């Protein structure tokens, strides 16, 4: 018990002293810590939406968009496979009407060969035992491919998982701290961004699918469309963005030169000649080489830069664009160009998302909650301190000192790992304070019992800590298991509570057992008391 080496004492004191220093920035205004020298660490506790205020959005996916995207993808895949396979299989126009894909094989003797090429394009839908597409042949040579319910459900689930990650990347690009992004049900995403009081900016950013495409302009088809004629096969008519060319529509080839999947960077910049906001972009190696080759072959023609099926601009290719980079110009403001750059480099959303609910939480509610939490914490600490002093005397002083230091260590740990303090987190914080002295109550009662059995001071204290430590460890393990389960399976407020609880368990065991034992050992070694008041 009395064998407490000097290195151990210094290690404990330095650890706790460092934790107290790291907890201080959380109590200092942010504008003050911003003036501190850079070499001084100033971690701060992140406040959740319910404490700091911010924006809340509930996004819902359009599952019809997933169905349409699957049909378009399968149409391209079928056309390519039939055209490039050996032997080539001639097919008629592919229709996507009625939520299914249909086309006719011109030579009926190739129906079996066509089916053999289609089968590898379908896969199993999870563990359902179904395929993601049904393939049937009607009228001896007409194929009908229809997405199954299981296949559609799997596609929606995959798209929502990808969409959640894209939303997370876009919000991270805003530089906000600790946003909460959670899937809700099969087709919804909850977004909470603390500290952001402009939900419209968030909606503008997340409302973009950011599907970037570069396509060649069909000048003849554009002229025909403007005279009221339908667009020929192989072209599509797209509108200009608001504020773009008067008249509004332009015909482009359906095949894409380069798409956003081959983009590695996109950022807001300014036009080198007129200073207007633009978006600089850079393609990866294959994308850059393809873009260079097409612009070399099509010099003198126009290509359209298309975002979400809207033409941003359609410049003429005056010289080949080499190097895999360029810029998008249009009627941008600095903010809209920056939002487009963020959306493009974060990747396109696999499914369109619409806002079905939104709200802005003001900081006043959070300020009231923080004030109430501080009062509750202060009352809890005062009540615990008074009880321990009255009940255990000197040993109560050590326990109280451990509680106060424990508060600082919890704050420091939360600031270091970037944990977010929410309203349920404050409840967990107060609960942790209340239970932080449980370990010392067990130890002190055990010491009392050993003294009643006639053991001397050193033996009683040594056995008290030794026997109680096992019980303390087992009790905290069960608490930690509950906390981990809440952290893994819970969401939002439950996670906030679990984080504070887990940190509190670790820090309270250290301060209540290791720190107080050190204090008791140092006191006994120095004073050699014949009896103790406990």
Digit-coded pLDDT (tens) for 201-259: 777 777 777 788 888 888 888 887 777 777 777 788 888 876 555 457 888 888 888 88
Given 3-state DSSP classes, what are the helix, strand and coil percentages for the chain, each rounded to the nearest 5?
A: 55, 20, 25
Higher-confidence residue of 514 and 30: namely 514
Q: Mean pLDDT across the stretch 258-267? A: 82
DSSP 249: E
For residue 35, what are its two tokens? Answer: 């003036």
CA angle centred on 263, ends 258 and 265, rounded to 5°: 145
Digit-coded pLDDT (tens) for 316-330: 887 777 777 888 877
Q: What is the DSSP string of 455-512?
A: --HHHHHHHHHHHHHHHHHHHHHHHHHHHHHHHHH--THHHHHHHHHHHHHHHHHIII
Higher-confidence residue of 165 and 51: namely 165
> 407 pLDDT band (50/70/90 cuts)?
confident
**Counting every residue, how long is the chain?**
534
239 three-state secondary structure: strand
Q: Tokens 């290791």 appear where?
A: 514
Note the pLDDT of residue 245. Answer: 52
Residue (of 200, 202, 204, 173) closest to 190 by Cα position = 202
Q: What is the DSSP string of 343-359?
A: HHHT---SS-EEEEEEE
328 three-state secondary structure: strand
SS (H, E, C) 302-320: EEEEEECCEEEECCECCCC
The phi, psi pair for 211, rounded to 5°, reads -85, 105
> 194 pLDDT band (50/70/90 cuts)?
confident
Note the pLDDT of residue 14. Answer: 93
Contact 304, 217 (CB under 8 A): yes
Q: What is the DSSP string of 391-456?
A: HHTHHHHHHHHHHHHHHHHHHHHHHHHTPEE-HHHHHHHHHHHHHHTHHHHHHHHHHHHHHHTT--
Provide the percentage of residues in the chain whose pLDDT is more than 70: 95
Contact 514, 441 (CB under 8 A): no
What is the number of other CB atoms lying within 10 angstroms of the CB of residue 250? 25
Contact 1, 458 (CB under 8 A): yes
Digit-coded pLDDT (tens) for 285-313: 888 888 888 888 888 888 888 888 888 88
Q: Mean pLDDT across the stretch 400-408? A: 88
pLDDT above 90 for 424: no
Residue (of 394, 399, 388) closest to 527 by Cα position = 394
For residue 125, what are its two tokens? Answer: 């839908």
Kind of pairing between the strands at 212-216 and 258-259? antiparallel
DSSP E strands in 171-276: the ranges are 180-184, 188-194, 212-216, 235-239, 249-253, 258-259, 263-270
DSSP 261: G
Higher-confidence residue of 143 and 342: namely 143
DSSP 119: G
pLDDT above 70 for 177: no
Q: Mean pLDDT across the stretch 143-158? A: 86
> 479 pLDDT band (50/70/90 cuts)?
confident
The phi, psi pair for 346, rounded to 5°, reads -85, -10
Q: Is the pTM of this model over 0.75?
A: no
> 176 pLDDT band (50/70/90 cuts)?
low
d(CA 113, CA 99): 25
Q: Mean pLDDT across the stretch 53-81? A: 83
187 three-state secondary structure: coil
Kind of pairing between the strands at 353-361 and 303-307? unpaired
Note the pLDDT of residue 128. Answer: 67
For residue 80, what are its two tokens? Answer: 């390519």
d(CA 192, CA 201): 13
Q: What is the DSSP string of 84-104?
A: HSSS---B-PPB-GGGSEEEE
Q: Any residues with CB less than 8 A from the CB of 195 and at least 6 apart, and which? A: 47, 52, 53, 54, 176, 177
Q: Mean pLDDT across the stretch 133-138? A: 88
Q: Residue 103 forms beta bridges with which residues?
A: 143
Higher-confidence residue of 179 and 477: namely 477
What is the number of other CB atoms lying within 10 angstroms of the CB of residue 351? 24
How many helices (H) and strands (E) would you count in the chain? 17, 18
Give the chain's mean pLDDT.
Answer: 82
For residue 515, what are its two tokens? Answer: 């720190």
Digit-coded pLDDT (tens) for 77-96: 888 888 887 888 888 888 88
Q: Residue 278 forms beta bridges with which residues?
A: 269, 329
């Amino acid at each position: 018990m009395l064998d407490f080496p000097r290195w151990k004492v210094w290690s404990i004191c330095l650890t706790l002293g460092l934790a107290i220093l790291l907890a201080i920035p959380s109590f200092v205004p942010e504008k003050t810590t911003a003036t501190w020298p850079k070499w001084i660490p100033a971690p701060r506790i992140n406040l959740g939406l319910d404490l700091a205020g911010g924006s809340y959005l509930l996004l819902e996916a359009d599952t019809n968009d997933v169905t349409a995207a699957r049909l378009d993808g399968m149409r391209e895949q079928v056309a390519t496979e039939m055209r490039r396979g050996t032997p080539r299989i001639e097919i008629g126009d592919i229709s996507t009407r009625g939520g299914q894909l249909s086309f006719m094989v011109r030579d009926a003797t190739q129906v079996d060969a066509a089916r053999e090429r289609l089968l590898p394009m379908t896969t199993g839908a999870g563990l359902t035992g179904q395929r993601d597409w049904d393939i049937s042949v009607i009228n001896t040579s007409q194929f009908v491919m229809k997405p199954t319910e299981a296949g559609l459900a799997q596609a929606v689930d995959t798209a929502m998982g990808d969409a959640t990650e894209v939303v997370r990347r876009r919000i991270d690009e805003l530089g906000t701290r600790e946003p909460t992004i959670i899937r809700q049900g099969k087709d919804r995403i909850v977004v909470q961004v603390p500290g952001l009081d402009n939900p419209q900016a968030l909606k503008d950013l997340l409302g973009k699918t950011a599907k970037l495409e570069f396509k060649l302009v069909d000048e003849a088809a554009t002229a025909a469309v403007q005279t009221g004629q339908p667009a020929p096969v192989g072209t599509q008519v797209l509108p200009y963005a608001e504020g773009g060319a008067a008249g509004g529509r332009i015909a482009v080839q359906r095949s894409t030169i380069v798409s956003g999947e081959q983009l590695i960077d996109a950022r807001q910049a300014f036009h080198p000649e007129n200073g207007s906001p633009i978006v600089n972009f850079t393609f990866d190696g294959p994308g850059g080489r393809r873009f260079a080759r097409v612009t070399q072959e099509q010099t003198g023609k126009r290509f359209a830069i298309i975002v979400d099926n809207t033409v941003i601009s359609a410049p003429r290719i005056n010289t080949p664009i080499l190097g895999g980079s360029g810029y998008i110009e249009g009627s941008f403001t600095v903010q809209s160009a920056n939002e487009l750059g963020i959306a493009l480099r974060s990747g396109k959303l696999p499914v369109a998302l619409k806002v079905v609910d939104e709200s802005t939480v003001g900081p006043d509610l959070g300020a009231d909650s923080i004030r109430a939490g501080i009062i509750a914490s202060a009352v809890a600490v005062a009540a615990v301190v008074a009880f321990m002093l009255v009940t255990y005397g000197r040993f109560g002083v050590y326990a109280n000192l451990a509680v106060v230091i424990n508060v600082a260590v919890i704050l420091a740990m939360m600031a270091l790992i970037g944990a977010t303090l929410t309203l349920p987190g404050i409840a967990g914080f107060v609960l942790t304070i209340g239970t932080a002295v449980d370990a010392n109550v067990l130890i002190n009662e055990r010491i009392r019992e050993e003294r009643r059995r006639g053991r001397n001071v050193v033996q009683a204290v040594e056995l008290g800590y030794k026997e109680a430590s096992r019980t303390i460890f087992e009790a905290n393990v069960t608490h930690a298991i509950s906390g981990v389960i809440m952290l893994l399976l819970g969401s939002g407020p439950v996670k906030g509570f679990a984080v504070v609880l887990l940190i509190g368990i670790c820090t309270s065991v250290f301060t209540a057992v290791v720190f107080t034992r050190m204090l008791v050992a140092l006191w006994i070694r120095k004073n050699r008391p014949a009896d103790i008041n406990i």
